[in-house]
């Protein structure tokens, strides 16, 4: 049984970049890099089978002018000859993922196509397509394993709980309930990082030569920001990993000097993180860390930020979202904009490079852009990000606003395109967002 797991390429849609003034283009995010942690976990769950993983983001980073997706896939299909192909899905990569399945079916209609990942949880109905055979929503490495075993034994999948099997009428759920599965704790699976050697040189950030890897210390989020996909993915639950399991993973990361924590918020349980830092220290683990930390948490626990900085915390990604309390309230951010300034101060005091991210709503007028620009100029951070408030399918914000969506092209759902009608003429809106990217402290690009 030959299994092929595929990380789809990025969506090329980026209107902010297209419309930005020339001098801002350098600073605008063109791509996020990093290994596909979810697929590495799925790969580990079936490692006793013949499994290969291809990272098409990495592949296009190695060969930006490489062949088109269908052609690349044809090449891989010919060499690997898979029986099963699994793809991970987020909204903006939906069409690319489906194209991968289409290429597989065109090559050999008997290849079983299995979809997984965030978008299968948040927008299951999108997968009712002839190219898709099975959908495994959720933290589903175990389900995938059962699918592989059943397929190898030429059995049906009806006995596997939590699956959706595609029929011409509908995506049909299997009958047995989903067995309890805690992917952060008792069912944690160590990601199979050695599968990505070919692309490791592409996992670099901030002009540094060393590759970065991702690691999660928790899954889900206890906050409920209206635009966010993460807490709906985990049904509002928060799962903290076991401390020693994180230490064990960190100790295995000899190939990586820089570790990016893939948590929604790394500091939720203050004592847990404090103990984690103590253990990192005790074990003599020397790495540089990149983490997502909330600005209100930072202001509440400055001692912890100082302690983390001493242990190697170098870059923090902080969702400022807005400089206005009424907007934060609308987003259900559960925080006050007045705290941003103090948080910036705490990070800078500890020599932490801060990426502060603002989200720009579609109704911003020139006066709003001016106010945003004034605020950001007075509160500069090393790397600043200004993306567009986007109703990701399956979020609260999507449900609130879905009647106003004017663009349903999922490849635009990556925070760099407006899918809602803007108050300003569209080009002017994008240009104004693009211009904001010039407001930052340093000259680096992350
Ligand atoms: C790591 C990560 C990345 C990595 C790797 C992703 C990849 N596939 O290459 C990189 C850096 C490349 C990345 C890029 C982007 N990302 Co990203 N990323 C994350 C992050 C931080 C963690 C995801 C993760 O690893 N979770 C842990 C793993 C174990 O869980 P998992 O991925 O869900 O996988 C499990 C299950 O879903 C399932 N599963 C997953 N895939 C499959 C496949 C099969 C076949 C099966 C059976 C099961 C299965 O099993 C896995 C194990 O249990 C999340 C935020 C978060 N904290 O969750 C954002 C997140 C997923 N990213 C997001 C976005 C938008 C992007 C970008 C578009 C951002 C941008 N504007 O550029 C880019 C896309 C590429 C680009 N334009 O550069 C959004 C997605 C929103 C949405 N609804 O679509 C998130 C939720 C961030 C956010 N706050 O909104 N990202």
How confident is the model over 44-66, as a mean pLDDT?
97
Parallel/antiparallel/unpaired status of strands 164-166 and 2-7: unpaired
For residue 435, pLDDT beyond 80? yes
Q: CB count, 10 Å around CB of 282?
A: 9
CATH number of 204-436: 3.20.20.70
Return the pLDDT at 251: 98
Return the pLDDT at 441: 82
Q: Where in the chain is the domain with CATH 3.40.50.280?
A: 2-173
CATH number of 2-173: 3.40.50.280
Residues counted in the chain: 446
Q: Which residues line ligand 1 (CB under 6 A)?
A: 7, 10, 29, 31-34, 36-39, 41-42, 57, 86-88, 90-92, 114, 116-119, 122, 136, 139-141, 144, 183, 214, 216, 228-230, 262-264, 392, 414-416
- Give residue for tokens 């049984």: 1
Quick: pLDDT tens for 351-394.
999 999 999 999 999 999 999 999 999 999 999 999 999 999 99
Question: In this structure, which residue's CA is closest to atom 77 in ligand 1?
Answer: 31
> Do residues 220 and 264 touch, judged by C-beta distance below 8 A?
yes
Q: Which atom of ligand 1 is nearest to the CA of 11?
A: 77
How confident is the model over 336-340, as a mean pLDDT?
97
Percentage of the chain with pLDDT > 90?
A: 96
For residue 15, pLDDT beyond 80? yes
How confident is the model over 43-52, as a mean pLDDT?
98
- State residue 27 phi and psi, 5-degree precision: -90, -15
User: Would the CA dihedral through 194, 200, 205, 207 be positive or negative?
Assistant: positive
Å from CA of 310 to ligand 1 middle: 29
Return the pLDDT at 205: 85
Nearest to 151 by CA among 85, 97, 195: 85
Q: Which atom of ligand 1 is nearest to the CA of 394?
A: 83
Q: Which atom of ligand 1 is nearest to the CA of 147?
A: 47
Return the pLDDT at 374: 97
**Which 3 state secondary structure label does DSSP give 51?**
strand
Parallel/antiparallel/unpaired status of strands 218-220 and 238-240: antiparallel
**Which 3 state secondary structure label does DSSP give 410?**
helix
> Do residues 64 and 72 touch, judged by C-beta distance below 8 A?
no
Parallel/antiparallel/unpaired status of strands 288-292 and 112-116: unpaired
Question: In this structure, which residue's CA is closest to atom 56 in ligand 1?
Answer: 264
The H or E element that residue 83 is part of is none
How confident is the model over 65-74, as a mean pLDDT?
97
How high is the mean pLDDT of the chain?
97
Pocket test for ligand 1, best of 5, 17, 32 (most atoms within 8 A of CB): 32
Quick: pLDDT tens for 411-424.
999 999 999 999 99
Quick: pLDDT tens for 223-259.
999 999 999 999 999 999 999 999 999 999 999 999 9
Question: In this structure, which residue's CA is closest to atom 49 in ligand 1?
Answer: 116
User: Would the CA dihedral through 407, 410, 414, 416 be positive or negative?
Assistant: negative
Rg (CA), the chain: 22
Q: Which atom of ligand 1 is nearest to the CA of 262?
A: 21
- Give the Å distances, CA to CA, from 113 to 10, 33, 127, 144, 257: 20, 26, 11, 11, 36
Query: pLDDT-derived band of residue 445, with 50, 70 and 90 as boundaries?
Result: low
Quick: pLDDT tens for 170-186.
999 999 999 999 999 99
Quick: pLDDT tens for 96-147.
999 999 999 999 999 999 999 999 999 999 999 999 999 999 999 999 999 9
Helix locations, 3-140, DSSP H:
15-19, 22-25, 37-45, 56-62, 69-80, 94-107, 118-122
Q: Which atom of ligand 1 is nearest to the CA of 413?
A: 84
**Which 3 state secondary structure label does DSSP give 444?**
coil
**Which 3 state secondary structure label does DSSP give 63?**
coil
- Give the Å distances, CA to CA, from 206 to 144, 257, 260: 35, 13, 13
Return the pLDDT at 113: 98
Count of alpha carbons within 13 angstroms of residue 422, beta-carbon side? 24
Helix locations, 293-404, DSSP H:
295-300, 302-310, 325-330, 340-349, 366-378, 396-401
- Give residue for tokens 């906050």: 223
Question: In this structure, which residue's CA is closest to atom 44 in ligand 1?
Answer: 116
Å from CA of 86 to ligand 1 middle: 15
- State residue 354 phi and psi, 5-degree precision: -105, 130
Q: Which residues lie closer than 8 Å to 175 by C-beta, 6 or more apart?
A: 158, 161
**Which 3 state secondary structure label does DSSP give 320?**
strand
Q: Where in the chain is the domain with CATH 3.20.20.70?
A: 204-436
Return the pLDDT at 428: 98
DSSP 124-185: GGGG-STT--EEE-SS-HHHHHHHHHHHHTT--STTSTT-EEE-SS-EEE-SSPPPP--TTT
**Which 3 state secondary structure label does DSSP give 439?**
coil
Pocket test for ligand 1, best of 31, 41, 52, 90 (most atoms within 8 A of CB): 90
Question: In this structure, which residue's CA is closest to atom 16 in ligand 1?
Answer: 32
As a whole number of angstroms, the distance between CA 35 and CA 191 comes to 10
Question: In this structure, which residue's CA is closest to atom 14 in ligand 1?
Answer: 32
For residue 443, pLDDT beyond 80? no
Question: In this structure, which residue's CA is closest to atom 4 in ligand 1?
Answer: 34
Pocket test for ligand 1, best of 85, 137, 241, 414 (most atoms within 8 A of CB): 414
Return the pLDDT at 270: 98
Å from CA of 185 to ligand 1 middle: 20
Pocket test for ligand 1, best of 28, 37, 216 (most atoms within 8 A of CB): 37
Return the pLDDT at 199: 96
For residue 446, pLDDT beyond 70? no
Å from CA of 161 to ligand 1 middle: 24
As a whole number of angstroms, the distance between CA 285 and CA 304 comes to 18
Torsion of CA 115, 119, 122, 123, to 10 degrees: -70
């Amino acid at each position: 049984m030959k299994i092929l797991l595929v990380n789809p390429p990025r969506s090329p849609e980026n209107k902010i970049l297209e419309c930005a003034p020339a001098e801002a283009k350098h600073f605008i995010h063109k791509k996020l890099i990093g290994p596909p942690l979810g697929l590495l976990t799925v790969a580990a769950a079936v490692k006793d089978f013949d499994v290969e993983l291809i990272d098409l983001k990495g592949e296009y980073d190695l060969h930006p002018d490489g062949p088109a997706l269908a052609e690349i896939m044809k090449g891989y299909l010919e060499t690997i000859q898979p029986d099963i192909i699994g793809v991970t899905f987020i909204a903006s990569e939906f069409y690319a993922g489906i194209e991968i399945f289409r290429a597989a079916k065109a090559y050999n209609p008997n290849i079983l196509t299995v979809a997984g990942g965030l978008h299968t949880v948040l927008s299951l109905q999108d997968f009712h397509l002839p190219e898709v055979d099975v959908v495994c929503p959720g933290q589903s490495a175990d389900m995938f394993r059962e699918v592989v075993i059943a397929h190898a034994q030429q059995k049906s999948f009806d006995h596997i709980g939590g699956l959706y099997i595609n029929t011409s009428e509908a995506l049909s759920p299997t009958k047995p309930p989903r067995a309890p599965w805690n992917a952060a704790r008792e069912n944690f699976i160590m990601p199979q990082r050695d599968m990505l050697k070919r692309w490791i040189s592409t996992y670099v950030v901030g002009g540094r030569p060393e590759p970065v890897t991702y690691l999660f210390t928790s899954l889900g989020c206890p906050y409920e920001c209206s635009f966010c996909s993460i807490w709906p993915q985990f049904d509002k639950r928060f799962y903290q990993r076991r401390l020693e399991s994180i230490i064990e993973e960190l100790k295995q990361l000899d190939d990586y000097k820089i570790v990016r924590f893939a948590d929604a918020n790394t500091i939720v349980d203050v004592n847990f993180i404090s103990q984690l830092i103590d253990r990192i220290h005790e074990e003599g683990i020397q790495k540089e860390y990149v983490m997502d930390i909330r600005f209100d948490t930072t202001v509440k626990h400055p001692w912890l930020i100082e302690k983390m900085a001493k242990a190697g915390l170098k870059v923090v990604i902080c969702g400022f979202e807005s400089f206005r309390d009424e907007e934060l309230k609308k987003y259900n951010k559960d925080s006050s904009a007045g705290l941003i300034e103090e948080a910036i101060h705490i990070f800078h005091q500890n020599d932490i490079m801060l990426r502060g991210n603002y989200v720009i709503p579609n109704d911003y007028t020139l006066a709003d852009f001016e106010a945003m620009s004034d605020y950001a100029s007075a509160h500069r951070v090393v790397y600043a990000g200004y993306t567009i408030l986007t109703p990701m399918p399956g979020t609260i914000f999507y449900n609130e606003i879905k009647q106003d969506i004017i663009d349903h092209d999922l490849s635009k759902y990556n925070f760099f395109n407006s899918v809602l009608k803007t108050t300003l003429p569209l080009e002017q809106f994008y240009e104004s967002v693009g211009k904001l990217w010039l407001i930052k402290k340093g000259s680096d690009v992350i």
